[in-house]
Structure 1
């Protein structure tokens, strides 16, 4: 019997998802709850498991194609006699002249979940790996040796490095492509830039680091807290535009998105109710979210609902940039590298820690005056970190 598994709604009112990676192909044996595919939603890459055991009869789409919720993702042959019928249909496929079709039934792959994950990371089709483990089980070294063999063969047949080549825009990169295009086409964006002296913040951070029990106290932790305070005082930057009804909504909650670089592209995990968190709690949350973002372990609700976004490019050494708004938000803050530069204090020139900042805003609903007030409030908190104590959480 052939059972069809339809793409479920995996959250956030999903309408369709793009197939990023298939872990199985037609004819492969599968077990209930086995990972069969990775799909890209608007917010995250999600692994899908099969509810049935049997043999893959048909896949509902190829990698890079989109499948709507309720459409067949995969069909599974679940009865032995049905499996024989499928095999008989595939025993005489179209082959090139001089080649014989294989009647060998698909081999059941024995491998631990960690080994399967390693195979996916190395781009290895696990069913093609020769097992050396006990009972015909594939072990991690089998996957690594197979990957090295593929690399050696690829190098032998590779084209010169000067050749032009192409790659598909898919998965997370495709969503970034679509969102950034929409943002630039839809929103008239203006960027203001300024420098802020964070010398006292550097000292304050050093003192608090010694008191922290766990985790890392980064500059970004203080910046998030300062932004939360500034958003309280400048609620227009925490709003959303309702273009259809020509309304501007002021958001009650402050949920700050942290743009995070991953191997697949930029994702934005969200610190919910950031204004209610301490600096230490913010530091711990950022470390947890960024770690799980890079390992694709974030839940969909942790990638949605942001009201304001921070893009931190400090590690890359740039001092200014023009960040692009993350719709439906109306502003985004770019924080950049900290450099030792001359600063004026009490009419004297000293060397201090100076950070570049950029604020991009939706000029339809935010004016330059609003931007100046927001940046002024933000700079006050960063230049005088003792205000964090007086403000409390």
Structure 2
């Protein structure tokens, strides 16, 4: 038996709120399965499991705020003897334990009043109703009678939306006068006549929580403050001739469909992944000492439209080709901006890249994201006079910077990394 713990999704995370369990007790789990959704400062995050087994029991309820490292569930590893709990979609395991606790001990039959019997009967009927655990929790906190609701979920189960709709109806109904109701009916009938297609079971548009962007900014501020406080940074810069890389990219994209074309950022990511081979000490974390990482998981800084940053990881970037990296970016960027990332994407980065893209500043000096020990900054590509083969010419130039943790590496290691990065970008066809 093992315990599934609330994972850390970055140095800025202290706790998360369980929104919904995605697996039930008795379910078979395999690595990569989504077991739960957790609300953090970085949005709604899908939490994965990384070992095969069976979900034995929940240890927390939906809606609970859980500190990083706290137990969330019990897992039974494959091959471990023990009873597999029966699946019961109608009754939450925590509620079953509460019922069992209440029923322990002898109770004289003559002490049971009609009122108590009625309450127990009502409670039993309520627990027999199909409803998600989150729907039950919200209903109990707001005194919503589940027996009066019709479920719209799978198999007629009552969902969170059903409970919230009932709560909204209760709040609106008393405020509506006959005159208001008549006007509302007239407007609704007119709307139905003018736009009938919009009345057909259209799902509600996703809503973002007020202050979500402020929360993300606060999370970034906490991590960067810790970085400046704890990490002794050193900075290096190298100017790289990008003529070969940009010419290769232009020729390659000319032969592709628009949807399959590559961005310069793909070359940056692949070149960093390959340069790590010559300086593995930069692909590491500092946690009571330097801990080298075998996988090269490159965190890519994504700017959110409403403000704030997220840094999801492109896992095993060294084993991916440029097309696979482009596919990963196309998948990851929209999900990051919709605040729908997986836990591994936020916790597995081993080194980070920040790229300003076109029309940005010429140089960027990053701040290391703890517990990592390095961040690579790519400015915008600009035309500058450059000496090449003894001749002065105007060529596309990229200023690349490295911020390193002086506890883990030094300037010599950083210089070797930047030189290796330059060599890879001079030979883009080998990337």
Normalising by the smaller structure, the TM-score range is: 0.5 to 0.7
Of 367, 370, 373, which aligns to 1:330?
Answer: 373
Per the alignment, residue 225 of structure 1 pairs with: 270
CA contact (8 A) 1:44 1:303 kept: no
Structure 1: segments with no counterpart, 5+ residues? 1-7, 21-36, 49-58, 84-103, 109-129, 141-166, 389-393
Q: Secondary structure at the match of 2:381?
A: strand
Of 293, 299, 307, which aligns to 2:336?
Answer: 293
Of 157, 163, 171, which aligns to 1:106?
Answer: 171
Per the alignment, residue 255 of structure 1 pairs with: 297
Of 208, 227, 230, which aligns to 1:183?
Answer: 227
In 1: Cα distance, 2:307 partner to 2:39 partner: 13
Per the alignment, residue 179 of structure 2 pairs with: none
Question: How is 1:2-151 mapped onto 2 (pairs within 5 angstroms)?
Answer: 12=8, 16-17=15-16, 39-41=39-41, 44-46=43-45, 75-77=138-140, 80=145, 105-107=170-172
Q: Determine which structure has more spread, i.e. the larger CA radius of gyration.
A: 2
Matched residues, number: 282
For residue 252 of structure 1, report the CA deviation from its aligned partner.
0.8
- In structure 2, relative to structure 1, the CA distance for the partners of 1:79 and 1:224 (3 Å cut) is closer
- In structure 2, relative to structure 1, the CA distance for the partners of 1:203 and 1:107 (3 Å cut) is same
In 2: Cα distance, 1:231 partner to 1:79 partner: 57
CA contact (8 A) 1:209 1:216 kept: yes
For residue 176 of structure 1, report the CA deviation from its aligned partner.
0.8
Question: How is 1:284-363 mapped onto 2 (pairs within 5 angstroms)?
Answer: 284-363=327-406
For residue 269 of structure 1, report the CA deviation from its aligned partner.
1.4
CA offsets, 1:325-381, max 9 Å, x none? 011110000001111111111111111100111110001121111111110110111
- In structure 2, relative to structure 1, the CA distance for the partners of 1:60 and 1:200 (3 Å cut) is closer
TM-score by length of 1: 0.62
Per the alignment, residue 276 of structure 1 pairs with: 319
CA offsets, 1:269-300, max 9 Å, x none? 11110000001111121121112111222222
Q: Secondary structure at the match of 2:301?
A: strand
In 2: Cα distance, 1:181 partner to 1:18 partner: 24
In 2: Cα distance, 1:209 partner to 1:367 partner: 38
What is the RMSD of the two structures over their aligned residues, measured on CA atoms? 3.9
Q: Secondary structure at the match of 1:314?
A: coil
In 2: Cα distance, 1:278 partner to 1:168 partner: 35
Structure 2: segments with no counterpart, 5+ residues? 20-36, 48-61, 73-132, 149-168, 174-186, 200-210
In 2: Cα distance, 1:298 partner to 1:351 partner: 42
For residue 16 of structure 1, report the CA deviation from its aligned partner.
2.1
For residue 312 of structure 1, report the CA deviation from its aligned partner.
0.7
Per the alignment, residue 151 of structure 1 pairs with: none
CA offsets, 1:223-265, max 9 Å, x none? 111101100111011012222xxx3221111000100001251
